[in-house]
Amino acid sequence: MLNKLKQDLQKLANKEKAVILQRFFKTGKGEYGHGDIFLGITVPDQRKIAKKYINLNLKQIKELLKSKMHEHRLIVLLLLVEKYKKADENIKKDIINFYLSHTNYINNWDLVDLSSHQILGDYLINKDKNILYKLANSNNLWEKRISIISTYTFIRNNKFQDTLNISRILLDDKHDLIHKAVGWMLREIGKRNLEIEENFLKKYYKKMPRTMLRYAIEKFDKNKREFYLKS
Going by the DSSP 8-state scheme, the letter that residue 41 receives in this structure is: -
In this predicted model, what pLDDT tens digit does every residue of 97-132 receive, in sequence order? Answer: 999 999 999 999 999 999 999 999 999 999 999 999
As to burial, measured by CB atoms within 10 angstroms (0-12 exposed, 13-18 middle, 19+ buried), residue 156 is: middle
**Residue 100 sits in the same domain as residue 8:** yes
- How far apart CA 159 and CA 210 sit, in angstroms, is 26
Q: Which domain holds residue 22?
A: 1-114
pLDDT digits (tens, 9 = 90+) for 174-189: 999 999 999 999 999 9
CATH number, position 8: 1.25.10.90
Q: 79, 114, 149: which is the final residue of a domain?
A: 114
pLDDT score, position 43: 95
Phi, psi of 67 (to 5 degrees): -70, 150
Same domain, 61 and 145: no
Of residues 167, 142, 140, the one with CA closest to residue 152? 167
- Same domain? 11 vs 109: yes
pTM assigned to the model: 0.95
Average pLDDT (198-217) is: 97
Do residues 151 and 122 make contact, with C-beta atoms less than 8 angstroms apart?
A: no
Q: Rounded to an integer, what distance in angstroms lies between the CA atom of residue 53 and that of residue 121?
A: 24
pLDDT tens digits, one per residue of 49-98 = 999 999 999 999 998 999 999 999 999 999 999 999 999 999 999 999 99
Q: What is the pLDDT of residues 12-42, one digit of tens each?
A: 999 999 999 999 999 988 889 998 999 999 9
* Distance from the Cα of residue 28 to its chain's centroid: 21
Last residue of a domain, one of 91, 114, 137: 114
Amino acid at 148: I
Residues 133 and 108 in one domain: no
Does 120 fall in a domain?
A: no
Beta bridge partners of 69: 37
pLDDT of residue 196: 98
Q: In a 3-state reduction of DSSP, which class is residue 187?
A: helix
- Tell me: do 16 and 84 sit in the same domain: yes
| Pair 133, 75 in one domain | no
> How long is the chain?
231
Q: Which of 114, 139, 169 is the last residue of a domain?
A: 114
Residue 231 has pLDDT above 90, yes or no: no
Domains held by the chain: number: 2
Mean pLDDT along residues 158-178: 98
